[in-house]
Structure 1
Amino acid sequence: MNSFRRRHRTSIGLTVLALLVTVAGCSSADDSASAAVPSPGAKVAGLCRDLDKVLPSRVDGLGRRDPEPASTLTAGWGDPAIILRCGVVRPAKMTDPEADGVDVNGVGWLLEKRDDGSFRFTTTLREAYVEVAIPKSRTGDGVAPLVDLAPAVKKAIPAGIAF
């Protein structure tokens, strides 16, 4: 009888564990966007914190929904998310004389079309590199997200050369 109780408890324990795994697998945290957090130096990190304070609550009509892990160096809007990362390293493509660029309301951006159909824009001639990734499903709006982000970038990230 003692072994029956032990097997019964084990069976209940496994059932509870399976239920917890199922519930965790269906949690709302799973639909959160994620973004790698950059590791800039102290000066750039300070500029990025300043940028975070002035970012708009809406970009291209989408509400702010920051990616995981939470950081003042990253921000997001919508689902699928438009993701901003501040303090990224200089993209290699920036040295390519054939690279595409756009100027949006006084902020220069390097344009990179990715293999999955999404776009990545990185600021040029600013003291910190700010990257904005636009998922394929949102590229139909062109540079509209950059129009909303330009005032904050101009206010927080001074013109200059990032190192």
Structure 2
Amino acid sequence: MPRRRFPLTRAPRTRAVALAALVVAPLAACAPTIGETPAEDAADPACAPVMLALPDTLAGDLPQRDTNAQATSAWGDPGAAVTLRCGVTPPGPSADCQRVESGAGAVDWIVVAGKDGTWRFTTYGREPAVEVLVPPSVTENHSTSFVGDLAQAVNTVPATATCT
């Protein structure tokens, strides 16, 4: 019985798909994952819409990265990334409260500069609260005004109080 042959057009296409899978799979594995600690209330259902509405980039050139903890996100490079955690304990009133206006609305943030140069932004008047940490390696080349880019996501949690 003669051996059956398949059309030549099928085998090259199959090989091309298999080859593409071999090339793409290792590249996907190379994307850095940033280690983060989840907030106390990271499982709060109100964090899910926040996480889904986050931008793909911040400050025009900081790409969003995978993180290893629930209700967290990061932009930039490991060790020098802007990090976000949803579900942190809502802060009380503070003289450090600032309103940041953007096209997606206003968000009130408690803004604190750490001794190491890290900026901490924590939403005020929202529960759950969202915390954003901006390390000095980012502020060397960027203004922290990109927190306004987070307004669309943060505004999925209704404000119950504002800066006074």
CA distance in 1, matches of 2:160, 2:45: 16
Partner Cα separation in structure 2 for residue 123 and residue 57 of structure 1 = 20
- Judge conservation of contact 2:64–2:74 (CA < 8 Å) in 1: yes
- Give 1:77's match in structure 2, choosing from 60, 75, 78: 75
Q: Closer, same or farther in 2 for the Cα pair 1:159/1:78, shift >3 Å?
A: same
Alignment of 1:14-163 (within 5 A): 32-40=33-41, 45-61=44-60, 62-67=62-67, 69-71=68-70, 73-79=71-77, 80-91=80-91, 94-96=92-94, 99-105=95-101, 106-140=106-140, 141-154=142-155, 156-160=156-160
- When normalised by structure 1's length, the TM-score is 0.67
Q: Which moved more, 1:113-122 or 1:132-141?
A: 132-141
Structure-2 change in CA distance of 1:90 and 1:125 (3 Å): closer
Find the residue that maps to 1:52 and give its secondary structure: helix
User: Which has the larger share of strand?
Assistant: 2
Partners of 2:90 and 2:126 in 1: how far apart?
11
TM-score (norm 2): 0.67
**Per residue, is there more helix in 1 or in 2?**
1
Separation (CA, whole Å) in 2 of partners of 1:74 and 1:46: 13
Unpaired stretches in structure 2, ≥5 consecutive residues? 1-28
Residue type matched to 1:151 in 2? Answer: Q
Distance 1:125 1:90 in 2: 7
